[in-house]
Chain A
Amino acid sequence: MIALLGPEIAWYLGVAAFLFATGAFGVLLRRNPLIVLLSLEIMLNGANLALIGFSRNLGDGGGQIFALAVMAVAASEVVVGLGLVVALNRKRITLDVDRLNTLRG
């Protein structure tokens, strides 16, 4: 295996875990859908970082491919999510996810 420069895998994973946790707390705690979407992106990027870190560590390009795929999905997701937010705003609905509860059983 080619020796690679840079910090150990643990550092990458640490940062990735930190990003993921930040995103997760954002999704769970914030009520503004815009912020929730933003936090989701942060979670995805945390996951991406973990994928790339492993990919580099194992010398396997598959992880990077996955990361690219995740980015593509994330982009689409943002398009849909932001579209929804814009639609909500146009209908003068308060941007608060707790009040969007018509699916209650």
Chain B
Amino acid sequence: MVWGAWICLLSPLVAACAITVGGTHLSRRAAGWLATSSCVVAFAGAVASFVGLLTHTASDRQFISTAWTWISGGRYQSGLSVIVDPLSVFMMLIVAGVGGLIVWYSIGYMDGDDEERRYFAYMALFVFSMLLLVQSGNLILLLAGWGMVGLSSYLLIGYWHQRPTAVAAAKKAFVMNAIGDATMALALFLLIQQGNSLEFGVLGGDFSSTVANLVALGLLGGAVAKSAQIPLHTWLPDAMEGPTPVSALIHAATMVTAGVYLIVRTHAIFEQAPKVADVAAGLGAATLLVAGLIALVQVDIKRVIAYSTMSQIGYMFVGAGIGSYPNAMFHLMTHAFFKALLFMTAGIVIHALTDEQDIRKMGGLRQLAPKTYWAFLVGSLALVGIFPFAGFFSKDSILAAAMAKGGAFGYILWAAGLAGTFLTGLYTFRLLFVVFWGEPSAFVREHFHPLGRDVVAFSLAIPVGILGVLSVVGGWIQFSPWWHPVETWLQTVAEPIVSPASWQEWTSIALSLLLGLTGIGVAWAIYGAHRVAVPRIAWAQRTLEHKFYFDEAYDALFYAPAVFLANFLRRGVEQPLIADSGRDLGDDTRDLGGIVARAQTGLVRTYALAIATGVAVLAIVFVIVK
């Protein structure tokens, strides 16, 4: 059981090291299979842990295995330990399972790329980092995994390092994440000072409300940065510069869900700081609306899906913020299925159209790639939450929980979530209709080339097929009005603090289904059937196309003043004080040397006279002084 967890954790690391060390001794294909099989082994390890936990009674399902004492200073000690409990096993299964499928898919997608081995080493490293994050047995190791996820995302987003935009996007993601890492580290420092421990148990300790609030805020900062929630969300759309499977990996199975995991894992401190938990839910609600609106006007197929990711993570934040942890985790799981599916289908489209991502050039792909169309349709229906697809089961229970929280705030969250459902239907099916419906555009007719029937095509198709099935059936494991195995499973780790009544469940289900279908209907009327012209409101469109001016605002608030200050310091301090002083020192020395050089006549007799005179003068001085 704990051995399963260790295998799960270490096998991707071994693969990453082996690919790195193996270098050109490994063929490119072998590197891909090595990374994939390491994920399969990791998944097997996760399954072994899962089965192991099942053999224990519910109250006895927490095991911490410590390899050795990692950090020890004063009374403080941390071990290099992994935790095996329902929550970590839940995440391990998702990360290793979906991650493995994505790495497998990469074998087809990255085929023929110049540096495939580097790619697969990074991918394996990413999976390892994420597994470290979810398996770490204490907060300090979790922070290490947190930072490593940031690092590997930086490496993968900037994988095509010859593209300046990719490098810029990678840097942006890293900087944004570093802000979160810093706030999280500060929270941990405070915890060490107050509780003298970073085990998860310390979070339930007795803290003053100020301390609890500060710690929760710090952790929330980390979660917001990693999960791309307002106000630290701007890196995520830019991260689409990476290869498509990377987008799938970052946005589906790993990384962005880490924030949700963190809140659920540390819920004890959030329960002591209910205001901060409300902030988390509020940020989630704001993000799900803002991202949904922005997604309406994006023209890059991957960016639309990226904004939908932000939006869906917003739902999870709402769920985690109001204390409905199992529902947040459940949505995390179904989202991993259908979002990976959507990204990978989009990847197939992009692949088939020779790397074109602009949906304005696409159209009519349904006739040319019917299977891809069906996969995308399944993913879209699951994303919108239409019965009986996966999203239906998970999204609605979050809404019901918001309703159950009650009060004005609860209902605001609920209303935002419902509005988000409408937006989801609208932007998802806008994408679907524009890309797949209608007649094939001139660009598509010219560039479309179908997949062959070789290994490449199978590597692309089989993972998509598996995820397609999961996107349908994955949600059936929990239907909150009637059966809730996920909630039962997570009971001991994260017990929900809201429990919706039956009427709240059914109201939310009915309304969100209705609004989702309305969204799809509106999208159909505008983009599918072209019965209604695309509404044009100039200022609204401008605002959305500028993504609510977040980037511009950050430019004005942080970048511009920093550049101004730097320029001022360069002109006002560095130039006169450092650069000029060096130059002046050199100039003056040379001038002085010029004066002294005149004494050097080159006449030996002058020198001799000078020496003789000097000696005579010294002799006289000595005689007198004596």
Contact = CB atoms under 8 A, between A and B. Distances in A.
Interface in B608-626: 608-609, 612
B163 interface: no
B600 A104 contact: yes
A75 B596 CA distance: 35
B602 A28 contact: no
B599 interface: yes
B597 interface: yes
Interface in A30-69: 31, 36
B597 A98 contact: no
Nearest to A31: B605
Interface residues of B, number: 13
A103 B608 contact: no
Q: In which size bucket is the chain A interface?
A: 10 to 19
B600 A103 contact: yes
B534 interface: no
A104 B602 contact: yes
A29 B609 CA distance: 10
Contacts, number: 35
Interface in A52-105: 97-98, 100-105
Contacts of A29: 605
A14 B597 CA distance: 39
A29 B604 CA distance: 11
A97 B612 contact: no
B69 interface: no
B604 A97 contact: yes
A105 B612 contact: no
B600 A105 contact: yes
Interface in A2-37: 24, 27-29, 31, 36
A27 B600 contact: no
A84 B193 CA distance: 81
Interface string B570-603: 0000000000000000000000000011111111
Nearest to A40: B608
B601 A27 contact: no
B612 A104 contact: no
Contacts of B596: 105
Contact of B601 (A24, A36, A104): A104
A98 B605 contact: yes
A85 B104 CA distance: 88
Given A24-B612, A28-B612, A101 B601 contact: yes
Contacts of A24: 612
Given A98-B603, A101-B603, A27 B598 contact: no
A101 B601 CA distance: 7
B605 A105 contact: no
B620 to A, nearest CB: 15
Which of A27, A31, A102 lies at the interface centre, i.e. has the most chain B CB atoms within 10 A of its CB? A27
Given A24-B612, A28-B612, A97 B605 contact: yes
A102 B604 CA distance: 11
A31 B603 CA distance: 10
Contacts of B600: 103-105
B48 to A, nearest CB: 85
Contacts of B608: 27-28
Closest 8 CB pairs of A and B: A101-B602, A104-B602, A105-B597, A105-B600, A103-B602, A97-B604, A27-B608, A28-B609
Given A104-B601, A105-B596, 10 more contacts: A27-B605, A27-B608, A28-B608, A31-B605, A100-B602, A100-B604, A101-B602, A104-B602, A104-B603, A105-B600
15 contacts: A27-B605, A28-B609, A28-B612, A31-B605, A97-B603, A97-B605, A98-B604, A101-B602, A102-B602, A103-B602, A104-B600, A105-B598, A105-B600, A105-B601, A105-B602
